[in-house]
Structures are given as C-alpha cells and as structure tokens.
Amino acid sequence: MTIAGNVDTFGEIKRVISREIPAEAKLTKVEFEGPSIVIYAENPNFLIENSEPIKRIVREIKKRVIVRADPRARKRIDEAKAIISNLIPAEAEITDTNFDEGTGEVIILAKKPGLVIGKGGSTLRDIASQTGWRPTIIRSPPLKSRIIEQTLYYQQNENDYRLDFLRSVGRRIHRPRVYNDSWITISALGGFREVGRQAIFIQTLDSKVLIDCGVRPGAQSYTDEFPRLDISEFNIEELDAVIVTHAHLDHCGLVPILFKYGYGGPIYCTKPTKSLMTLLQLDYLDVAVKEGKPTPYGLREVKKELLHTIPLEYGEVTDISPDIRLTLHNAGHILGSAMVHLHIGDGLYNIVYTGDFKYARTRLLEPAAATFPRAETLIMESTYGAPNDVVPTREETEQQLIETLRTTIQLGGKALIPILAVGRAQEIMIVLDEAIKSGALPLVPIYIEGMLQEVTAIHTAYPEELARELKNRIFHKGENPFLSEHFVSVDDKSARPEIAEGGPCIIMATSGMLTGGPALEYFKLLAPNPNNTMIFVNYQIEGTLGRSILKGLKEIPLANSAGKMDVIQVRMSVKSIDGFSGHSDRKQLLKFVNNISPRPKQVMIVHGEESKCIGMADSIRRFFHVDAMAPNIGDRIRVK
C-alpha cells in the first residue's frame, strides 16, 4: 500500500484559503457543502468587488468555491425582501421569494429570470452585496408543476437535514486518498446484453460509484426486474456516489431502494432529471399499488432521495470522491438526459458512458455531445444497433404519423398513441400542434392522459435545456407549443368511455409499452373497432404487452374494472413508427464512434438485446480497429 501525496485534504484547503483571503473580508469560517467549498465572511462584498483572491484559490485547489455572508452580516429577511423588490424590475414578474437561513440563500421565482439576473449578472451581484443573501433564480413555469412546487416546499422544511448531509458529503469527498496504485474495474450489474434495469458499478482502490439503477419493465421475477445488487463486490454502505443519467425508469426506477438498504450518500443528476425522476418513481409506486403488486420501496425513500440529490449543470466538473471527477454532458435523449464523463486519478484514466443518447437533432433537444477532454473507455448503448435498425428521417417519420392519423380520422376512428411520458410525448405534441396549425391534420381534440400534463409542465420550467429552435420560439416569438389550445387534459378517468365512444380524436396516454396506465384502459375500449388505430412510437421491450401486440397477438385476456378476466379482441390496426426514437439508430451509433473525440481505446456495448450488443461490438472492432466487447451481467472487467 502506498500513501498518496494528497493536497486535497480539508486542512490543506483551509490553509490556502486563510493565506489568500485579505483581512478586510473578515473570513469567519470555511465549510464543505457537497462538492463545493463555502467561504463565510463578515464582509463578503470585499470578495465580490475584488475577485482576484477567489480566482487564485480556485486555481490552486481546483474546487468550486462559494462565498457567503456570515449570518451576522445578513440583512433581516423583511429588509432583504424590500431591497430585492427595489432592485428587480417589475417586468421580471417575481412570483415567490424564499429565504434559506441554513445556507444564506434566497430563492427567487420569477417568470422572466433573465431580468432578475441583470446584464452580466449585475442585479444578482447587487442583491448579494446589498442584502448579504446569495440569490438563486428559478423560473416559475407557465404551467403549474405540482412536483416542482412540492419538492421545493419539502426541501425548505428539511433545510437542517440537507445542510448536515451536504457537509458530511463534502468531508467524505475530501478524505485523504489511501492508495496511489491504478486499479479500475467496471462491473455489469444490469442492462448488459438486455434492455432494462441499467446499472454499472465502477471501482477504484479508493472509491466506488454506481451509475444508474433501473428496473426492467415486463420482467417476470425480481431476479430479472432488478439489477444484480447482490453480487459480492457490491456493498451499498461503501458507495461514494450514485449518478443518474436520465429519468426513464429503466435507469432510475430503483434508485430509492438504495436508501432502504443503507445508502446515505449523494445522487448526482441534472435539475430536470431530479424533477422528472421523482415524478416517475411516484407513478411507479402508484401503478404497483393499483395492480396489487408489492412495492420495492416507499414514499419515505423517494423523499430521502430528494434531499440527497445534488443537481449539476452540463459541463460542470465536480469532485465526487477522493479520486473521481464527474462531468455531465448533453445526451439529446430526453429533457435533462446526460452522458457521464469520469476523470479518475490525476490524469490516470477516463470513462465516458453515453447513457441513452440521440446523436442527431430532434425538435425537442440538441444532439448529444461527442467531444470530451479524454476518453479511454467508452460505454455505449445499442438499443437500435442491429443492421436492420435503419430509422427513416424525421421528415418521413412525421409524414408517416400524420398520414396514419389522417386516415384514421377519415374513417371516423380514434388513434391511440401509447407513449412514454417523458420525451417522445413532448416531441409528438410539437409535431401534432404544428400539423393542426398548418392544416395537415383536421382539427380534432388531442387528449392528453396520465402524467403527460405534469411532465409537460416540467418541460416548460426548463426551457433553457431545449433545442435552440424551440427555445427561440418560446423566448423570442412567444410561441410555446406545449401551451397550445389543441391539447385537452383528461383529469378524470370517468371521461374515458365517453372519449372512446365519441367522435374522431387522438389520445396520448402512458404507459408506452402497454404495461399499465391509462393507455391500457383505452386499449381495452378501442381494440375491438377496426376503424381505430394504435400507433407505437417507442421501443417495445421483450415481455411487454406492447411487444406481443406488435408481433400480432389478437386475443388478449385482461382483467376488467370488476377484476374479472375479459378476452380483448384486437381488431384495430396496429402500427409502429420508429423514427421518433430518442435513441441513435445504427448509423448514428457508428457515426458517433467515428466522431467521438478523442477516440477511445476500448468500447463496451450495453443496453441492447444480446444479438445487437454482440453485433455492434463486432462491427466496431472491424470498422474502427479498437477493442470492443459486449459484457454480460455479472462480468467484472479491469480497465486499468
């Protein structure tokens, strides 16, 4: 064992800070808060006006540094409120101001956050220097999001817990390194040679990190549904960090269970992922309860997950353990989806995991990133990695959807689109709204069911993360397609039979693979009528009802509302339109491997059916002459 010559320890950091901070600033204390270092000063204005000392500190310790006023230097809340409302123009439309006494932050909700920030951040700086409180701006969404409101409220009531937690995370991240040897392994816990229950476990001699912890929809048993957290090298209590790439349940559905079995550390993800993940997990519990299934965790664990989540921006480099730095990059898959870049040791090794990603622009998001500072191992998904997975262009796909809908409407039928609440739904909402506006589709109601309304509200809360063109429409032209009058929200399930018996319409409902939810209820009502059409727009995992219907199953025994079994006759047309996928197709996957900079030395293929993973690894070996493999569940691979 060798002891590393480490300069990152807290004592060392404190020494640098007290050396650099001038006496005029009146430094009172230095604290950890998650991955950041917080400097408290009685005269923080001095450090805001003279930024050189802080810049020198950041350069030397290479950590994120936050300056806060010592509680003694903060204005009383009523005084601070008055100063803030004086500084911010009325046009910014502030909807709420919340003071967090624990951290000295003031959270300002406004309809136009740009005006709160001011030119080059000038208003923010004025607020900080005149009140002693550090402002954080949140956009108040034009559609009310229950989840965003409730989580904000909940977190404010748990401030003391959160602050204690952040401090303990900080101490753990900055503990001294014990080893200086190189030993990095990647263990396949779930989502290898299969789609679903994604979980990747990365270990160095000093730290242990889990990326994603999902469930597998349509699984028949717990051994198939959950990642293999039971393997001997995985110990929940020793985990340093959990990273969640995005809010789909096959990546985040089982994260709360970690808290049930002893995890007490942080969850890293983007802000939109935090909101969406909470929503989807709560829905997952709800569906399980309704179906009389045992739930693997409860509300308590979801709440704990919320308090333990540390949201990160794309591109923000963050220490997550003594020897691992994490950076998230846009994955182009759904709102908030991220690729994971891990920098291990000081220049020792780099791993890029794509998560689910789209290497092409969509109406909703910009294409996935392909440039990284370094990348020795690439872990890449391959959902659409087979040679015949050629997806038509977006234009053709949209055309196909509009034509199918038009034919159904002309027949007097109804179109049911079972849909994943996040991503595809919003993409299709944009397409449908435009088609009705341009006259390509007749004016029929578009019913939005399930969680779609809430998810859409979350999209309106983070417009900065959307594709450039869509952002431009929202910010500069005042056109927000999500607020279009063509969408009718169905809030009461008793309206369903009436919709199913009424005139032509389009129904968008969860779940996307007919494993449950309102889509399944509509399916029961609409299936027997040959004028109706069901249109699948996302991947159907093996074992789901959606997959069976797509394969041609015509008689389906399903429980009715009284709990009795009915045999549903499928006479409606069934279509699958692939081009809306938030995944890269085979061509885009290969293009990504070709373009990724720098080129990795090794590629691991995950998140695809067995034949696709093996085939994709083969193709990459042949085309790019790099080492490529398709690990199996239970494998542990040493990469350094």
Residues in touch with Zn ion (CB under 5 A): 248, 356
Rounded to a whole number of angstroms, the minimum distance from the CB of residue 248 to Zn ion is 3
User: What are phi and psi for residue 288, nearest 5 degrees?
Assistant: -60, -45
The C-alpha atoms of residue 589 and residue 359 are separated, in whole angstroms, by: 7
The C-alpha atoms of residue 491 and residue 117 are separated, in whole angstroms, by: 37
3-state SS assignment for residue 466: coil
Structure tokens at 179: 């080893």
Residues 6+ away with beta carbon under 8 Å from 149: none
Rounded to a whole number of angstroms, the minimum distance from the CB of residue 340 to Zn ion is 14
Considering the complex, state which of residue 13 and residue 364 has its C-beta at the smaller distance from Zn ion: 364
Which residue type does 118 have?
G
Rounded to a whole number of angstroms, the minimum distance from the CB of residue 231 to Zn ion is 24
Q: Up-side HSE of residue 576: CA atoms within 13 Å toward CB? A: 15
Rounded to a whole number of angstroms, the minimum distance from the CB of residue 303 to Zn ion is 24
Alpha-carbon distances, residue 489 vs 319, 418, 447 (angstroms) = 43, 15, 6
Considering the complex, state which of residue 248 and residue 274 has its C-beta at the smaller distance from Zn ion: 248
DSSP, res 412: T
Considering the complex, state which of residue 383 and residue 453 has its C-beta at the smaller distance from Zn ion: 383
Listing from the earlier edge strand, what are the strands of the sheet with 185-190?
309-311, 267-269, 241-243, 208-211, 199-203, 185-190, 636-638
Rounded to a whole number of angstroms, the minimum distance from the CB of residue 278 to Zn ion is 16
Considering the complex, state which of residue 319 and residue 356 has its C-beta at the smaller distance from Zn ion: 356
8 A C-beta contact, residue 268 and residue 274: no
The C-alpha atoms of residue 72 and residue 466 are separated, in whole angstroms, by: 41
Alpha-carbon distances, residue 464 vs 314, 322, 461 (angstroms) = 12, 32, 9
Considering the complex, state which of residue 304 and residue 607 has its C-beta at the smaller distance from Zn ion: 607
Rounded to a whole number of angstroms, the minimum distance from the CB of residue 333 to Zn ion is 6
Considering the complex, state which of residue 172 and residue 248 has its C-beta at the smaller distance from Zn ion: 248
Which stretches of 364-423 are DSSP H helices?
394-410
Rounded to a whole number of angstroms, the minimum distance from the CB of residue 364 to Zn ion is 13
The C-alpha atoms of residue 203 and residue 636 are separated, in whole angstroms, by: 10
Rounded to a whole number of angstroms, the minimum distance from the CB of residue 246 to Zn ion is 6
Rounded to a whole number of angstroms, the minimum distance from the CB of residue 467 to Zn ion is 18
Structure tokens at 190: 């779930």
Considering the complex, state which of residue 356 and residue 389 has its C-beta at the smaller distance from Zn ion: 356
Which residue type does 389 have?
D
Rounded to a whole number of angstroms, the minimum distance from the CB of residue 251 to Zn ion is 6
Considering the complex, state which of residue 126 and residue 356 has its C-beta at the smaller distance from Zn ion: 356
Considering the complex, state which of residue 21 and residue 280 has its C-beta at the smaller distance from Zn ion: 280
3-state SS assignment for residue 384: strand
Least Cα distance to 225 among 613, 543, 559 occurs for: 543
The C-alpha atoms of residue 10 and residue 30 are separated, in whole angstroms, by: 9
Rounded to a whole number of angstroms, the minimum distance from the CB of residue 351 to Zn ion is 20
The C-alpha atoms of residue 97 and residue 536 are separated, in whole angstroms, by: 43
Strands 446-448 and 505-509: parallel
Considering the complex, state which of residue 356 and residue 465 has its C-beta at the smaller distance from Zn ion: 356
Peptide bond into 511 cis (omega under 30): yes
Considering the complex, state which of residue 356 and residue 578 has its C-beta at the smaller distance from Zn ion: 356
Rounded to a whole number of angstroms, the minimum distance from the CB of residue 636 to Zn ion is 25
Rounded to a whole number of angstroms, the minimum distance from the CB of residue 513 to Zn ion is 12
8 A C-beta contact, residue 231 and residue 189: yes
Please give the helix or strand (H or E) that residue 586 lies within, else none: helix 586-595
The C-alpha atoms of residue 86 and residue 470 are separated, in whole angstroms, by: 33
Rounded to a whole number of angstroms, the minimum distance from the CB of residue 168 to Zn ion is 32
Considering the complex, state which of residue 420 and residue 435 has its C-beta at the smaller distance from Zn ion: 420
The C-alpha atoms of residue 365 and residue 468 are separated, in whole angstroms, by: 8
Residues 6+ away with beta carbon under 8 Å from 613: 192, 193, 382, 385, 605, 606, 630
Structure tokens at 243: 């990273």
Considering the complex, state which of residue 236 and residue 335 has its C-beta at the smaller distance from Zn ion: 335
8 A C-beta contact, residue 216 and residue 250: yes
The C-alpha atoms of residue 228 and residue 212 are separated, in whole angstroms, by: 12
Listing from the earlier edge strand, what are the strands of the sheet with 27-33?
27-33, 36-41, 64-69
